[in-house]
A = this chain, B = another copy of it.
Amino acid sequence: MSTIEDDETGRPGGRTWRVGELASQSKVSVRTLHHYDELGLLSPSKRTLAGHRLYTTADVSRLHRILALRGFGLTLADVGRVLNGEVDDLADLVQRQLQQAEQQVRAASALRDRLSAVLRGLSAAQNPGPDLLLEVMEAMSELNRKLTPEEFDELQESRKRWSDSLSPEQAEAARQARTEAMSALSDTERARMTAARASALPEGWTSD
């Protein structure tokens, strides 16, 4: 404030930043800035004689715009296109990003539900051996494909062969874990089918 020729010069518009400075202030890595330079997404307007990057205020603004768009889930390629004005229908792009995010929410939620069902099954068993848990996880996945009658028979049979090798306590725990898992799976499946029906509507179709 009082110094005028300390680190930055007083010339308006002449303030520049070195990579390290810009990186720490923007909470990105130096490597990220190098990467954006390589991609041509953000090339510093100046260089020192030694070849060190110097970012101007305009460059900094562009970086902020890049980080903003990146924060909305755009790929760097899309970020570049948007900033270059190569995208005419931005609303359409945002719409697609939204659908993608919704899909991610559905997928992650379904995964979360299945995992917590496994954990509930685990806690139901007093001594959850690794084989038990594996069995439950496999059974849950098995149900995700529709089984042909023969496959179902074989699954039953292999389950039987397997459970014959267990102590009564282990067998009971396995049964209980499986029941837990199956019911949770059904919930997930029901939700999935509902979602599938909704997304099967033609594009642009609305309920009114």
Contact = CB atoms under 8 A, between A and B. Distances in A.
Nearest to A158: B61
A88 to B, nearest CB: 8
Interface string A99-125: 001101100110110111011001000
Contacts of A68: 137-138, 140-142
A92 to B, nearest CB: 10
Given A102-B112, A104-B104, A108-B108, A72 B134 contact: no
A82 interface: yes
A81 to B, nearest CB: 11
A71 B144 contact: yes
A83 to B, nearest CB: 8
A116 to B, nearest CB: 6
Interface residues of A, number: 44
Contacts of A102: 112
A112 B105 contact: yes
A40 interface: no
Contacts of A98: 112, 115-116, 119
A69 interface: yes
Contacts of A140: 68
Contact of A130 (B64, B90, B97, B130): B90
A95 interface: yes
Interface of A: 27, 64-65, 67-69, 71-73, 82, 85, 87-88, 90-91, 94-95, 97-98, 101-102, 104-105, 108-109, 111-112, 114-116, 118-119, 122, 128, 130, 133-134, 137-138, 140-142, 144-145
Which 7 pairs from chain A and chain B are nearest by CB? A68-B141, A104-B108, A101-B112, A98-B115, A105-B108, A68-B138, A101-B111
8 contacts: A27-B145, A64-B141, A65-B138, A71-B144, A72-B111, A87-B130, A91-B122, A94-B133
